[in-house]
Amino acid sequence: MLSADLVIVACMAYVALLFAVAFFGDRRARRGPGGWLSSPLVYTLSISIYCTSWTFFGAVGSAVRNGLEFATIYIGPTIVFVGWWVFLRKLVAVGRTYHTTSVADLISARFGKSSALGALVTIIAVVAATPYIALQLKALTASFQVLTYPAGAVAAANLNLKPDFAIAFWVAAGLCAFSIIFGVRNINVNERHHGVIAAIAVEAVVKLVALVAVGLWVVLGNEGGPTAMFADAPANLTNPADTFGSRWVSLVILAGAAVICLPRQFQVTVVENTSERQLRTASWLFPLYLFLICLFVIPIALAGLQRLPEGSNPDLFVLTLPFSADQGTIGLLAFLGGFSSATSMVIVSSIALSTMISNHLVMPLALSLRLAPDASARLMRRFILTARRVSIVFIVFLGLLYYRLSGSFDALAAIGLISFCGVAQFLPSLVGGLYWRRATQAGALAGLAAGFAIWAYTLFLPSFEGAFLLPASAIADGPFGLGWLRPHALFGLSRLDPLVHALFWSMTANLALFFGVSLLTDPTPLARYQSRLFIDIFRRQTESELSVMRRTAKIRDLRGIADRVLGAGEAVSLFASQNTRDHAMTASDELIATVEQRLAANVGAATARALVSSVVTSETISVEELKRLADETEQIRAYSEELEQKSREIEATADELARANRQLRAIDERKDEFLSQVSHEVRTPMTSIRAFSDILLQTPDMPAAQKQRYLRVIQEESLRLTRLLDGILDLNQPGDSGARATPAPFDPELALDQALASCEALARAAGVGIVRAKRARRAIVDGDRDRLAQVFVNLLSNAIKYNGTRAPEVVIASRVRKGRYEATVSDNGPGVPEAEREAIFAKFARGAAAGQTGAGLGLAISRQIVTGFGGTLTVAESPQGGAAFTVSLPVAQPQSSAGTTD
């Protein structure tokens, strides 16, 4: 026997160690995420919380009673974890991506953030967890009692001691304290509890080491090898054919379901997960842990049967075996291992369940009944924390109550399986919710409620053996003597094991109603939206999907809610990117979603949605759009549409590039044309300069006066050439043609004369007769004389050059009419076809008619100049049948308007 004081001191020392680990874990987490806290190893060890005192003590008991059956409890999770790629990966990705806080949160969020569903799942989870927590309290109490029994542990285990509820009470109180101190100190965005996880990881190591130590001690101390060991093995181990019946299958299914659905497993596997890497490692490391835990169960069971007196409680073999051989140290280690496995389970379960209770039961009620102190953030947070703390105490003491009420002689495994069957009811909604789009909220509610009711009736209530609600007579013969309603033989199905029977009926009802009601009802728009997010978690969402839900809310209102629930500090960081002056403005869809997500971490998805909806002024979810998008082919269509749109954009860009290219080519072409035109323009005065200089050179004895005249022409032409080049520069400056020279009043006739003089040589060379007809008198226009002369030179030279008739003649006439000075240059050449009369003035345009090789820029420049003076340059048919170009300019002085002459 160990003294109670020593055991208590050992426990206290151990708890102190856990506190230290949890404390440093929390501190490490506050310094920043990552590090060893988020390593796959710690993650896997935290999942090992699956192995509770049911495993530590109960597995051996189960092996003694039912042979290999104990292994099913670990084979089920092994299958689920090695098959992580099929289901767990999706579940964990959904939980991680959408910051799920509990299994109730996930199911409620998937089915349209339904608060009813969240509440139902929470109630089921709490009720189902009760026997499980009772199991831990029972194991703790029993092991403590056995260890401290005055007559020795072996004798105690043989006695079937009456449970000491005082010990149970203090154990429960201690567990509450630890859970509250480390689990509910603060409200996290993701409900991640780094400190607790670190402590749990340590406990996982302790229980494995303890069990392996006992196992090794048993195996190594065994003389005679395996043959001797299995000599007295129970029949179900040596002749196991009967083990593999419906109960074997049911237990594998139940254990596989439990490792997903148990609130604490969901907490450590999904909520605390930070990356897929963790899960990938856990996929083989966690089964390996289970394998190692189970490896020594059979040897310990066999050794216990051989070495301990007949009638010893097999659930305590792990503890009593070392003491029977006076191995106090190993015994104490075994006790600590069991202590460890029980405490970690209770702590994490109560934390997970308290979050669920506060988020899905207390907060929705408090908010709808206006009990929550929503005036101040501090009070609100305190309210939430208090709700969680009270929930923890409630859960643990509910377990204690179950322990008190239920038959206290049950095997540990049998109690645990009641819980497993209860939480397995979540499986259809959970799996269906992640794979089946048609699943509706009503279907999930109906299935869960029916499964829960049948479980409670066929398994949970009978486990009290008449002490609670269902009297013993009703359990034996059915309520009111109705035999077909017997809890263990519903509808006369009496040949099944009670557990298999309960699983069969509850799952049948659950599945039937889940599928049936889902098919009969339509999902709400939000449920459709959520189902798309959850089911297609690994598929890239198309843009059209993400924009299906549109909400509008004022930033100020959102901020108000965030302040109240999250506290000012977090709210500030949440709205940091928003301009404070814009608070009356409408919040973006993303901001609303972010706020809702943060709120969900504190009060659950359904409550968060209710809160946000209270300030959202309009919400539209296009059901048609969602329905359309739900179709598989429609997804492909949406993709191809997106691709098409992209390719259209690319095409448009390509078109634009092609157009730019064409433009550049055209400009390049025009540049070439322009250059040739410039040469042409420059050539005209050059020709006349050459012609006059030729004459001067060939006739040295020319009269001085004539020589003088010719030289002046040459000079004028060179000057004009200079000015022409200036003009070309002008022309290249867009939009300011003729603006360089400051306009001044001048007599246009002078410009005309200047032009005539410069063309004289050209005309003579071409044999063209120039007739000076009517002249305008006293006409004054505003502008630049040289430029006007340039225009006339252009017109005259064109008229001279392109006149192919036998007796070419150019007639020049000018007059002032209706306030306009008009000068006409007409010829008897081929004329300009009516269709081309506007085209020939286009800049850089060539005349289309044959022989019009160089024309174009001259006229364009001319028109530009004339237009710059506020006049017009037009072409018409001349009286001689050729072309008649008319320059019309507004006269500058009103008095000359009357002076129409000749």
Burial 655-690 (b: 16+ CB within 10 A, else e): eeeeeeeeeeeeeeeeeebbebbbebbeebbebbbe
Least spacing, CB of residue 848 vs another protein, in Å: 58
Please state the three-class secondary structure of 285-297 as a single string: HHHHHHHHHHHCH
Burial 515-527 (b: 16+ CB within 10 A, else e): bebbeeeebbbbb
Closer to another protein at the Cβ: 286 or 455? 286
Closer to another protein at the Cβ: 229 or 756? 229
For β-strands 883-890 and 872-877, DSSP reports them as: antiparallel
What SS3 class is residue 574? helix
Closer to another protein at the Cβ: 14 or 534? 534
Residues near another protein, by CB under 8 A? 33, 68, 71, 75, 78-86, 96-97, 99, 189-190, 225-230, 233, 237-241, 243-245, 248-249, 252, 274-277, 280-281, 283-284, 287-288, 291, 294-295, 298, 538, 540-541, 546
CB 241 within 8 A of CB 63: no
Which residues have C-beta within 8 Å of that of residue 872, sequence separation ≥ 6?
A: 866, 886, 887, 888
Least spacing, CB of residue 73 vs another protein, in Å: 12
**How far, in Å, CA of 77 to CA of 895, rounded?**
112
Closer to another protein at the Cβ: 70 or 452? 70
Q: What is the DSSP letter of 54?
A: I
Rg over alpha carbons for the chain, rounded to the nearest Å, is 50
Least spacing, CB of residue 85 vs another protein, in Å: 4
Least spacing, CB of residue 33 vs another protein, in Å: 6
**How far, in Å, CA of 230 to CA of 326, rounded?**
24
CB 272 within 8 A of CB 46: yes
Going through 689-791 in order, the beta strands assigned E by DSSP cover 744-746, 769-772, 781-783
What SS3 class is residue 706? helix
Q: Give the number of other CB atoms < 10 A from CB of residue 772.
A: 13
Least spacing, CB of residue 191 vs another protein, in Å: 12
Least spacing, CB of residue 634 vs another protein, in Å: 19
CB 216 within 8 A of CB 336: no
Which residues have C-beta within 8 Å of that of residue 107, sequence separation ≥ 6?
A: 117, 118, 121, 426, 429, 430, 433, 444
Q: Give the number of other CB atoms < 10 A from CB of residue 107.
A: 27
Closer to another protein at the Cβ: 238 or 708? 238
CB 367 within 8 A of CB 610: yes
Closer to another protein at the Cβ: 161 or 431? 431
> Which of 738, 724, 720, 719 has the alpha carbon at shortest distance from 678?
724
Helices (H), 604-631: 605-615, 623-630
**How far, in Å, CA of 182 to CA of 23, rounded?**
8
* Residue reference for tokens 């289901």: 87
Closer to another protein at the Cβ: 277 or 659? 277
Closer to another protein at the Cβ: 241 or 807? 241
Closer to another protein at the Cβ: 75 or 126? 75
Least spacing, CB of residue 417 vs another protein, in Å: 18
**How far, in Å, CA of 188 to CA of 385, rounded?**
11
Which helix (H) or strand (E) covers residue 13, if one does?
A: helix 4-30
Least spacing, CB of residue 70 vs another protein, in Å: 11
> Which of 61, 99, 499 has the alpha carbon at shortest distance from 297?
61
Least spacing, CB of residue 600 vs another protein, in Å: 13
Q: Give the number of other CB atoms < 10 A from CB of residue 870.
A: 15
Closer to another protein at the Cβ: 208 or 233? 233
* End-to-end Cα, the chain, rounded Å: 149
* Residue reference for tokens 């991680």: 96
Question: Angle at Cα 296 formed by Cα 291 and Cα 299, nearest 5°?
Answer: 145
Least spacing, CB of residue 635 vs another protein, in Å: 15
Least spacing, CB of residue 78 vs another protein, in Å: 7
Closer to another protein at the Cβ: 79 or 493? 79
Closer to another protein at the Cβ: 287 or 858? 287
The torsion angle over the Cα atoms of residues 790, 792, 795 and 798, rounded to 10 degrees, is -60
Task: Tell me the CB-side half-sphere exposure of residue 71, using CA atoms within 13 A.
Answer: 13
Length of the chain: 902
Least spacing, CB of residue 80 vs another protein, in Å: 7
Hey, what amino acid is at 839?
A
Least spacing, CB of residue 108 vs another protein, in Å: 20
Closer to another protein at the Cβ: 241 or 850? 241
Closer to another protein at the Cβ: 298 or 490? 298
Least spacing, CB of residue 81 vs another protein, in Å: 7
Least spacing, CB of residue 663 vs another protein, in Å: 37
Closer to another protein at the Cβ: 78 or 794? 78
Least spacing, CB of residue 67 vs another protein, in Å: 9
Residue 809's beta-bridge partner residues? 769
Least spacing, CB of residue 252 vs another protein, in Å: 6
**How far, in Å, CA of 433 to CA of 457, rounded?**
26
Closer to another protein at the Cβ: 545 or 717? 545
Least spacing, CB of residue 304 vs another protein, in Å: 17
Residue 554's beta-bridge partner residues? 586
Closer to another protein at the Cβ: 376 or 547? 547
CB 294 within 8 A of CB 375: no
Quote the distance between the C-alpha of residue 671 and its chain's center. 54
Closer to another protein at the Cβ: 70 or 217? 70
